[in-house]
Copies of this chain bind each other. A is one copy, B any other.
Amino acid sequence: MTPPVVGELAENRVGSVQQVLVALADPVRLEMVRRLRNAGSPVPCALLYDGINKSTATHHFKILREAGLTERLVVDGHTHQRLRTEQVNAAVPGLLDSVVGTANREVGSS
């Protein structure tokens, strides 16, 4: 059974390691990726940020998507973001574990 997902499935490849680092180096985007990684499943967009407006968030989602880190899905009529974990791990092995593991420790949530 496939989940009831309609929407844009990213076909773009994960970017170069330098492009991926640029995508992760912003504090807002790092927090988005941290939440996505910890969730382990698609997350409604609005749950991925605090303290910024929707258009700023959309800008950051676009940068993550263009780097190949995330893709956008529509689940039950609501836009979600999904981390492309498998593809990112294949492109830059160990990066997500390293970065999110450290970010989690810094936030004190692990």
Q: Residues of A within 8 Å of B, CB-based: how many?
A: 22
Instruction: Determine, out of A39-47, A53-61, A72-80, A101-109, the stretch whose residues face the partner at the interface.
Output: A101-109
Q: Assess whether A16 is in contact with B106, with CB atoms less than 8 Å apart.
A: yes
Instruction: Choose one: B21, B25, B94, B106; the contact of A94 (CB below 8 Å).
Output: B94
**What is the count of identical protomers in the complex?**
2
* A21/B17 contact (C-beta < 8 A), A92-B98, A95-B95, A99-B95 known: no
Residues A20-73 near B (CB distance < 8 A): 21-22, 24-27, 30
The answer for the CA separation of A92 and B100 in the assembled complex, in Å, is: 10
The chain B residue sitting closest to A23, CB to CB, is B25
Q: Please tell me if A7 contacts chain B, counting CB pairs below 8 Å.
A: no
